[in-house]
A and B are shown apart, each in its own frame.
Chain A
């Protein structure tokens, strides 16, 4: 089997997380099928979106990651992007790349840019594109893809066609992946055996990232200290030859930083406020309480719609997926799209005055009480003790 993996919009501080999530998606393929040729295309170093803080260390991390994957032939292709090019412009080159290096399976990294580019490339090529993929069942000649459907009320299993299917994992660190990553970290299954030493260091990729990044003391990718088993290849010619590449649709006018919300998805302790908080002032009290306890503070989509918090704090299918040790929800009813975002939380405690609220069906512990009263009581506690 031949496999193409495309990375776009990969940021330095997020590359480790993205690579880790890629493991979960790729492990079933490596377990079931011998990968004869694996090509990894890196579209970067980030100029594609103009704003992305991405540099050679991300390329180095990818190179280290690729070197650990079990495939007979491995290549890291890269194209140095011009600024302010839209996916539409890039797709011509990408389609030429897929024509030159046809693959049975095409996987895009679960970044916003990757999703956009993956969809557009699939649209151009007439391929099926499945996003938010939770897991795959890869037994030749059948490719089955499992993903959330009906606003996360259930899973659907869909058929893919080898050679004509684009897969994109869960962008928000979605469910299913965590279990695979967890197994790998524990040496249980999946990537642990597949990538050997790399997996021994926790999730594995952190180790790889470290070593690879340490080797990245180069100024240009073409003098990259690449592992011996990887062929490094500049494929920019495929892009330069396209009509679209010369036609620059888009100009970037300015970049606006998003409000800092801390590392919501990775924080060990997270408080989440919902519509039951009733007012923005109450939500601000929850934020202050979270700061006091060193917790990250998230919200539900209805709370964000109400203007109580920024959208970047949203937990659920349209926001982030938490991997907290402890998550406490305040006034969250627990709609299915929200519960998707707390599937990987180790211990979930829900506070809601309605004992029939759906959130209690997923919670490990529940408090039936007005969440404002609980917040008031917690404000009175001394911390740290």
Chain B
């Protein structure tokens, strides 16, 4: 059984110096710590839990993590330490504004890999509208489950069972593989911890480069400012042509960015001690209760 997790490495926006947001036209994240997209991290862990379940049942599982664009090597090799069999970096420029382009590159890789299950995070990155999973599913002709919180797989029947979030319910659905599963607020939210021994072993593994034909000319632009190539990374030997998702030619067209966070006008509630301050808080609650 083969599973592929599509993930993305993004800047941790909480690390950005607050005044930098005043100049949104020229943001520089090169000094900012890089992390897995938060839903992508949930997707990575969800896939690993499914792998554990299947391996315990005697199933042979190949798990691959793939990303478009660059990032610190430690985040790539960390995935080996966590339990992935192969970590792949697709060369080519990745942009928050180009879900069609990103999806086309992923589709090319996935056609070669032929996985039963494709995991993605619900939303990633800075300006995301959650289009990449939809484009991938549409491009591959796979079934698609969104807002997945939990996944099980029956390898004999090639059937995936997933709990999906709806407005007021969680719905347990069964779907025939191959399928794209988009992980939302799931039971697994953070990537597992791993031992130093696993980390040392992972450092010896190579991150595989995969180049999509027609996108290779963008390699130089692919690395985000400050990004470090993965440890021991080597280019993939062959390039494979990419079939874009049907009609996936339109991408985001940004006109400008604005930061209109209200200036601080906070009035301090003062008091000698906590009960005195809490008493004033009670007055505010009384006002609402009166209304």
Contact = CB atoms under 8 A, between A and B. Distances in A.
A252 B250 contact: no
A326 interface: yes
27 contacts: A51-B166, A86-B175, A87-B144, A88-B143, A112-B166, A116-B146, A123-B135, A128-B250, A128-B252, A149-B127, A149-B257, A154-B24, A154-B259, A159-B254, A159-B255, A249-B176, A250-B173, A255-B170, A258-B169, A294-B289, A305-B189, A360-B264, A361-B262, A364-B266, A365-B266, A366-B266, A377-B275
Contacts of B284: 326, 328, 347, 349, 365
A117 to B, nearest CB: 10
Given A123-B134, A155-B260, A361-B264, A131 B129 contact: yes
Given A88-B137, A149-B126, A367-B269, A158 B252 contact: yes
Interface of A: 9, 11, 14, 49-53, 84, 86-88, 91, 111-113, 115-116, 119-120, 122-132, 144, 147, 149-151, 153-159, 161, 164, 249-258, 268-269, 293-295, 304-305, 311, 314, 318, 325-326, 328, 335-336, 339, 347, 349-351, 358, 360-370, 373-374, 376-378, 380-381, 384-385
B173 A252 contact: yes
A366 B269 contact: yes
Contacts of A86: 143-145, 175
Contact of A158 (B171, B254, B282): B254
Interface stretch (B10-18, B51-59, B65-73, B225-233): B10-18
Contacts of A363: 266
A61 B277 CA distance: 46
Given A150-B13, A257-B168, A361-B261, A158 B253 contact: yes
Interface residues of B, number: 83
B197 interface: no
Q: Which of A122, A149, A374 has the most CB of B within 10 A?
A: A149
Nearest to A51: B169
A269 B285 contact: yes
Interface of A is mostly: mixed
Nearest to B245: A123
A365 B265 CA distance: 8
A374 B274 contact: yes
Pairs of residues from A and B, 5 with the lowest C-beta to C-beta distance, nearest first: A126-B247, A377-B278, A373-B274, A119-B134, A311-B185
A87 B290 CA distance: 46
A115 B268 contact: no
Nearest to A361: B264
B165 A112 contact: yes
A289 to B, nearest CB: 10
A122 B132 CA distance: 11
A261 B57 CA distance: 37
Interface of B: 13-14, 16, 18, 21, 24, 27, 96, 100, 103, 126-127, 129-131, 133-135, 137-139, 142-147, 161, 163, 165-176, 185, 189-190, 245-269, 274-275, 277-279, 281-282, 284-289, 291
Nearest to A91: B138
A249 B175 contact: yes
B172 A256 contact: yes
A199 B147 CA distance: 35
Contacts of A295: 285
Contact of A255 (B16, B103, B171, B259): B171
Given A115-B130, A154-B257, A164 B250 contact: yes
A253 B174 contact: yes
A335 B250 contact: no
A174 to B, nearest CB: 14
Given A249-B176, A311-B185, A314-B185, 9 more contacts: A51-B166, A115-B130, A128-B250, A150-B24, A154-B259, A156-B127, A257-B168, A361-B261, A365-B269
Given A269-B285, A349-B281, A366-B269, A157 B255 contact: yes
Nearest to A54: B167
A153 B21 contact: yes
Contacts of A87: 144, 146
Contacts of A51: 166, 168-169, 171
A131 B27 CA distance: 23
A174 B240 CA distance: 42
B270 to A, nearest CB: 9
Contacts of B127: 147, 149-150, 156
A112 B167 contact: yes
Nearest to B248: A126
A240 B99 CA distance: 31
B250 A156 contact: no
A364 B254 contact: no
Nearest to A374: B278
B1 to A, nearest CB: 19
Given A157-B258, A269-B288, A49 B250 contact: no
A250 B253 CA distance: 35
Nearest to B244: A126
B249 A153 contact: no
Nearest to B14: A335
A9 B130 CA distance: 18
A187 B135 CA distance: 42
A281 B111 CA distance: 49
Contact of B170 (A258, A318, A360): A258
B268 A368 contact: yes
Contact of B247 (A124, A129, A358): A124
Given A128-B252, A349-B284, A381-B278, A358 B173 contact: no
